Structure 1
Amino acid sequence: MTRPFVHPYIPNTAPESRAAMLAAVGATSVDEFYVDVPADLRLDRPLDLPEPLTAELDLERHVGGLLSRNVSTRTRLSFLGAGTYHHHVPAVVDEIINRSEFLTAYAGEPYEDHGRFQALFEYQSLMAELLAMDVVNVPTYDGYQATATGLAMAGRMTGRRRVLVASDVLPAKASKVHDFVRGHLDLEIVPTIGGTADAAAVASLLADDVAAVWVETPSATGAVEARLRELADAAHAVGAVLVVGTDPIGYGVLVPPAEHGADIVCGDIQSLGLHQWFGGAHGGFIAVHDDPRFIMEMPSRLFGLATTDVPGEYGFGDVAYDRTSFAHREEGKEWVGTAAALWGIAAGVYLTLMGPEGMRELGEVLLARTEYARRALAAIPGVELGDDALHLREFTVDLGGTGRTAGDVVRDLRLVGIEPGVPLDERTLLVCVTEMTSQRDIDRLAESLAAAVGASPAASDLAGADVPAASDPAPTLEEQSA
């Protein structure tokens, strides 16, 4: 008789443990838990996993080998972006969020508060100032979820289903948002023109069944939307909501979407003091005006000033608690979800350290270095820019005229220690620069790319060009190695 397999890492695979669990919930088999999952989505075979390593030293060696395959942007010159960015993280940020009173702040708990509530209140206040909004949530799981929630809020407020997607959206983000809202919203993509929204096309599709116009700025290709006010006015004329997905990193110098008529502004805070960490620490923000119609649709926690049992004294705690799923349970409009409170504290520390002047300088550096990189790569024969829009941090180049594919270029430049960008298709490369990318780094990319396509950059096109230095300029790879 064959003995049942018991996995050494998973105690509930033991037959007696499994039987006890099934008995406790009144189920006859594990299959009963998957009855709602369509048969064509189930895997009718065991997972293809290696044999478990029972000795600790063997397991440690195996996992260490897997981890060693990761390559850090500390050791390789990276122009990768597409949702996770290599920005400078001041040492103070890591020092503070590693303190014991903050490190376990999963959702702003527990009850013996040692400043968590106030720290998150300060984060919300700083974000509101940066975004020119009034109310900002405690960070939710990530920016993808925050955007999906923003659209869901618009659907609930208007009672409508159609959402016009006016910008180029990261494929991973579009997929996540679609999965989140597909039960009650229909996403309708409106092709962009010149890298930004086709405002005339959007206006022609607006009707009284449109819940929201969804705009991403910067877009998936880094294009900054120039016609937000026009889009907002057109959406509002039919009773629709303008939802803007964005990255807050540039609003020390760019005009915030709220000042162009945006109703809901949402996105990710990874750029604000969070490391890349091989995929990133992510947290989603949702920002609205001081309007109860919007505030009461926000599912996430909000921390604000609250009265205490002592007359005349105030503290920090949940506000508008009765709108959350904590209060309504299964009757809630949307669940509170996984909070990323620790990352909110990190972003709050980052914004405090930077201040308005620091954010302004950072925005100027990002715009200037992005434009310098665009000119440097466009000077290579056969390389063309994807569009003429204003770009922040990211942009695309068309390699069709070089005779090399984007995949070829990535492979060749990796051999010389450069990650040149993310291939979007055979001829298009998405390139990202930040304040961590020096002018010499950009020049090195241009020279290496020119060599890879068998050309020489037209140096005269860059004669006299320069970019401002960040207050704490990033070292080049050569300097890091010295």
Structure 2
Amino acid sequence: MRYLPLTETDRSAMLDAIGAPDVDALFSDVPPGLYLDGPIEGLPHHATEMAVEKHMRRLSKRNLAAADAPFFLGAGAYKHHVPATVDHIIQRGEFLTAYTPYQPEIAQGTLQMLFEFQTQVARLYGCAVANASMYDGSTACWEAVAMASRVTRRKRVVLSGALHPHYAEVVRTMAKFTEDEIAGASPSLTATPDDDGLIARIDENTASVVVQYPDILGRIPDLRKIAEAAHAKGAKLIVVNTEPVALGALEAPGNLGADIVVGEGQGIGVGLQFGGPYLGLFAITDPKLVRQMPGRLCGETVDADGKRGFVLTLSTREQHIRREKATSNICTNSGLCALAFSVHMTLLGEAGLRALAAENHRLACIASDRLAKLPGVEVLNTHFFNEFTLMLPTDTRQLVRDLADKGILGGVSLGKLFPQEDALSGGLLVTVTETTTEEDIETLASALEEALS
């Protein structure tokens, strides 16, 4: 039976204390259409444990798994090969069971791993300092916006129209509680990003400019040009990277003028995992601003005997200090995913990462050239890494569903990513990684040709 320790009197007292008339008021932000008005359809009201397991397995077989189909999805979540070594190491007991290492004397392995992880992220991003990871890429993006507002003491935030819409939505949601002014825009369907249009929106009240690299359409913005324009107005440039493998081929954002670089680390060491848990990366180019960074920072020191050791150097999170003094109220740092990232990055090394990036780009070029030959298909991009946008003479939302019915995960519909933008309904974002074969590319090409004929 259910254990309900609180009485109606207890619940009434708590509701009175917070000023809510009833429990339903706590969920007022949830749209009414999303509430359940009864049991979940398809699930029995009661069953044995074995019966439930069988039922759930039957339901799971309705999924089309990434490993079982030609896979061209991306848009912030990437299918890369994860070596078996990664899974072996992260399942070791000393890592798998460890939580926040508050006692450094018994957590040297975890602390050293986080220190090495920070070093890897800083080098990948071309930055001076990186933290010990964040919750995911989208919340790291918001934390960068909040940090820039603290540093500049301004409240206006300029978002590139080609920023991932989910990241932009997280920023808008969080800004409701900080009174930051979010100046967004719609993505332009041009072969190259509209850098000049973004620069024109920067003024003397701008705290930060947020640009994605590569952007949501797979294009490569001119970060140096945008950085110069932002700095001329006293604003900080925040660069978002959702595909870390791209930085094996592209110049690091910190070397191009970015002040804060954030992103999603899932593409290295972390599988797709039905959408999470993922890994937020966060780094800065100016070490003088380190105390304004969110999250935790591991440092190297020596112990009483002069031996090398590691500690939590900074931890300005609300669970450690006064809430109003905290730089972040999003406390999860995805430590196990950070370990997976670090192990995979160590296995690759610099040469391996560059080779992996080159293979991704090589296969993407093959796919782009093949698909561009199809009647009615136009490749939007002139430059890209492993993602590019196709413009098709049909609504790609239905097209993606039709391809899935044929066992092909053929890309991400821009109509789904930007449902309010009718002009984007014919856009299809195609992603190619080292796991894609030339046979997969031919399968997609044939299916698209048939669908568009």
2:64 paired residue number? 71
Are 2:277 and 1:281 aligned? yes
Instruction: Report the residue type matching 2:438 in the other structure.
Output: Q
2:409 paired residue number? 419
Kindly indicate whether the alpha-carbon contact (under 8 Å) linking 1:77 and 1:419 is maintained by their aligned counterparts in 2: yes
Q: 2-side partners of 1:26 and 1:417: how far apart?
A: 52
Kindly indicate whether the alpha-carbon contact (under 8 Å) linking 1:190 and 1:201 is maintained by their aligned counterparts in 2: no
Instruction: Within 5 Å, give how 1:130-149 maps onto structure 2.
Output: 130-149=124-143
Shift in Å at residue 300 of structure 1?
Answer: 0.5
Higher Cα Rg, which structure: 1
Instruction: Report the residue type matching 1:447 in the other structure.
Output: S
- Residues 196 and 313 (structure 1 numbering): CA distance in 2 closer, same or farther, change over 3 Å? same
- Residues 448 and 35 (structure 1 numbering): CA distance in 2 closer, same or farther, change over 3 Å? closer
SS of the residue corresponding to residue 127 of structure 1 reads helix
Q: 1-side partners of 2:124 and 2:389: how far apart?
A: 28
Shift in Å at residue 339 of structure 1?
Answer: 1.6
Shift in Å at residue 382 of structure 1?
Answer: 0.8
Kindly indicate whether the alpha-carbon contact (under 8 Å) linking 1:101 and 1:114 is maintained by their aligned counterparts in 2: no
1:258 paired residue number? 254
Q: 1-side partners of 2:286 and 2:225: how far apart?
A: 23
Instruction: Report the residue type matching 1:272 in the other structure.
Output: I
SS of the residue corresponding to residue 317 of structure 1 reads strand
Percent identity at matched positions? 33
2:6 paired residue number? 18
Structure 1 unaligned residues grouped into runs of 5+? 1-7, 455-482
SS of the residue corresponding to residue 67 of structure 2 reads coil
The structure 2 residue matched to 1:212, chosen from 189, 192, 208, is 208
Summarize deviations over 1:383-425 as a string: whole Å, max 9, x none: 112233x11221111111xxx4324433443343211112222
Shift in Å at residue 301 of structure 1?
Answer: 0.7
Q: 2-side partners of 1:95 and 1:267: how far apart?
A: 26
- Residues 67 and 356 (structure 1 numbering): CA distance in 2 closer, same or farther, change over 3 Å? same
- For structure 1, which segment, 208-217 or 60-69, has the greater mean C-alpha deviation from structure 2 after superposition? 60-69
Larger RCO, structure (CA 8 Å, separation 6 or more): 2
Q: 2-side partners of 1:23 and 1:279: how far apart?
A: 35
- For structure 1, which segment, 104-113 or 282-291, has the greater mean C-alpha deviation from structure 2 after superposition? 104-113
Normalised TM-score (structure 1): 0.83
- Structure 1 runs of 4+ off > 6 angstroms? none
Are 2:396 and 1:399 aligned? no
Instruction: Within 5 Å, give how 1:267-416 maps onto structure 2.
Output: 267-293=263-289, 295-308=290-303, 310-321=304-315, 323-331=316-324, 332-388=326-382, 390-400=383-393, 404-416=394-406
Shift in Å at residue 253 of structure 1?
Answer: 1.8
The structure 1 residue matched to 2:89, chosen from 96, 111, 135, is 96
Instruction: Within 5 Å, give how 1:177-188 maps onto structure 2.
Output: 177-182=171-176, 183-188=178-183
Are 2:229 and 1:234 aligned? yes
The structure 1 residue matched to 2:155, chosen from 142, 161, 181, is 161
Instruction: Report the residue type matching 1:406 in the other structure.
Output: T
Normalised TM-score (structure 2): 0.88
2:419 paired residue number? none
- Residues 354 and 206 (structure 1 numbering): CA distance in 2 closer, same or farther, change over 3 Å? same
Question: RMSD across aligned C-alpha pairs, in angstroms?
Answer: 2.7
Shift in Å at residue 119 of structure 1?
Answer: 0.9
Shift in Å at residue 341 of structure 1?
Answer: 0.5
1:440 paired residue number? 439
Q: 2-side partners of 1:342 and 1:52: how far apart?
A: 36
SS of the residue corresponding to residue 342 of structure 1 reads helix
Q: 2-side partners of 1:438 and 1:150: how far apart?
A: 37
Q: 2-side partners of 1:92 and 1:129: how far apart?
A: 23
Kindly indicate whether the alpha-carbon contact (under 8 Å) linking 1:273 and 1:347 is maintained by their aligned counterparts in 2: yes
Q: 2-side partners of 1:163 and 1:197: how far apart?
A: 19
Structure 2 unaligned residues grouped into runs of 5+? 416-424
Q: Provide the aligned length of Structure 1 versus Structure 2.
A: 434
Kindly indicate whether the alpha-carbon contact (under 8 Å) linking 2:411 and 2:428 is maintained by their aligned counterparts in 1: yes
Q: 2-side partners of 1:166 and 1:96: how far apart?
A: 39
Shift in Å at residue 364 of structure 1?
Answer: 1.1
2:421 paired residue number? none
Kindly indicate whether the alpha-carbon contact (under 8 Å) linking 2:164 and 2:212 is maintained by their aligned counterparts in 1: no
Q: 2-side partners of 1:209 and 1:100: how far apart?
A: 51
- For structure 1, which segment, 444-453 or 115-124, has the greater mean C-alpha deviation from structure 2 after superposition? 444-453
Kindly indicate whether the alpha-carbon contact (under 8 Å) linking 2:391 and 2:428 is maintained by their aligned counterparts in 1: yes
Shift in Å at residue 306 of structure 1?
Answer: 2.7
Kindly indicate whether the alpha-carbon contact (under 8 Å) linking 2:193 and 2:220 is maintained by their aligned counterparts in 1: no
Q: 1-side partners of 2:12 and 2:308: how far apart?
A: 46
